[in-house]
Chain A
């Protein structure tokens, strides 16, 4: 079956602009999470969505936002772009299963997409 699909694959933006990235999860996966990867900071968690609700958020400024649609597809938006926002943005999906206590199952495997390369000039 198809993997996690991200669009666009590459894009160049100017400082001050905003950008929207799209992610289609693996069919049947309800959890979508976003990450930023840079050479200096490595791979950092941005946020996670499940059933159209943000379930968790990393330590990023409010310029970074996201949403999830009823079909589990997700978008992330970065407003007022800065040069430091240049990075590989990765989307990952998983089943998002929880136990009866609504605790996340540590065995939920997450699968990453190929990423969107954003360059801010």
Chain B
């Protein structure tokens, strides 16, 4: 089972910031939070990941709460091409490897 909880769907106006929340209350101390997105019929695209500190790259920003039980992915200026399913994952250590367990994610629709 996925170790994260996300809203099923969200929408956002083009040009505005999209803030996607994620709860991961059972995260352990050395586990990273990863964000991917998947556009229909394509493979998941890596967006960003973080451990404790907030992170920013050319695609997005990641805000992690101090207790690390939740995080928010921020797309600062959403475009129509950002319409996708966004997955927040905390990988599970199983059989000697970190296995990503994808839940249902958040379906983000960016509208004109």
Identify A113's interface contact among B34, B43, B96, CB under 8 A: B43
Q: How far is the CB of A86 from chain B (nearest CB, A)?
A: 14
Q: How far is the CB of A32 from chain B (nearest CB, A)?
A: 12
Binding-face segment, A13-21, A72-80, A104-112 = A104-112
Who on chain A is nearest to B28 by CB?
A106
- Which residues in B have their C-beta under 8 angstroms from that of A111? 46
- Which residues in B have their C-beta under 8 angstroms from that of A107? 32, 49, 51
Binding-face segment, B12-20, B67-75, B100-108 = B100-108
Q: Are B31 and A106 in contact (CB under 8 A)?
A: yes
Q: Are B32 and A55 in contact (CB under 8 A)?
A: no
Interface size of A by CB at 8 A reads: 26
Q: How far is the CA of A55 from the CA of B98 in the complex (A)?
A: 11
Q: How far is the CA of A42 from the CA of B97 in the complex (A)?
A: 20
Interface size of B by CB at 8 A reads: 26
Main secondary structure on chain A at its contact with chain B?
strand
Who on chain A is nearest to B48 by CB?
A109
Q: How far is the CA of A111 from the CA of B51 in the complex (A)?
A: 18
Q: Are B99 and A45 in contact (CB under 8 A)?
A: yes
11 extra interface residue pairs, beta carbon distance < 8 Å, beyond A42-B103, A88-B43, A109-B49: A6-B43, A43-B44, A43-B100, A43-B102, A57-B95, A104-B98, A106-B32, A109-B46, A110-B46, A112-B43, A112-B44
Give me 25 A-to-B residue pairs in the complex whose CB atoms sit less than 8 angstroms apart, sorted by A's number. Answer: A4-B43, A6-B43, A42-B103, A43-B44, A43-B100, A45-B99, A45-B101, A56-B96, A56-B97, A57-B95, A90-B44, A92-B43, A106-B30, A106-B91, A106-B93, A106-B98, A107-B32, A107-B49, A107-B51, A109-B34, A109-B46, A109-B49, A111-B46, A112-B36, A113-B43
